[in-house]
Amino acid sequence: MTVAVAALGSGLGLGKAVGSAMEAMARQPEAAGKIQTGMIIGAAFIEALTIYALVAVILLK
């Protein structure tokens, strides 16, 4: 249940991040490479929060 709520949060956050990355890439296609790199790194950070929840659940069981 904990992990489900954390996944919900990261789903929302990642959606917003990737959405704004897509929008930025559409506005300036020549910067698409840099924006993509930033998007992947941002996604890793957001995902990390869900992973913390998963690790906490596993360590406590």
Partner 1 sequence: MIEKTTLILNGIVHTINEHAAEVSDTLVEHQAHGGFVSDTLKSLHDTAHAAVGHVVHGAEHAAHGAGHAPELPNWLELAKILFPGRLTEFLFAWHVVIFSAVVWLMLSFFCIIAYRKRSIYPGKLQNFIEWIVETLYNLIVGILGPSGAKYVPFLGTLFVYIFTMNVFGLFPGMFSSTSKLNTTLALAICVFCYVQFEGIRTNGLKGYILHLAGSPKSVVEWCLVPLNLPLHIIGELAKPISLSLRLFGNISGEDMLLAIFAGLGIASLAFINPPNWLPGLPLQFPFIFLALLTSFVQALVFTLLSSIYFSLMTHREEEHH
Q: Which residue ranges make up the site for partner 1 (CB under 8 A)?
A: 40-41, 43-45, 47-48, 51-52, 54-55, 58, 61
Long-range pairs of 43-49 with CB within 8 A, sequence gap ≥ 24: 43/14, 43/17, 43/18, 46/10, 46/13, 46/14, 46/17, 47/10, 47/14, 49/6, 49/9, 49/10, 49/13
Which of 27/61 has CB closer to partner 1? 61
Which of 31/45 has CB closer to partner 1? 45
Query: Shortest distance, CB of residue 61 to partner 1, whole angstroms?
Result: 5
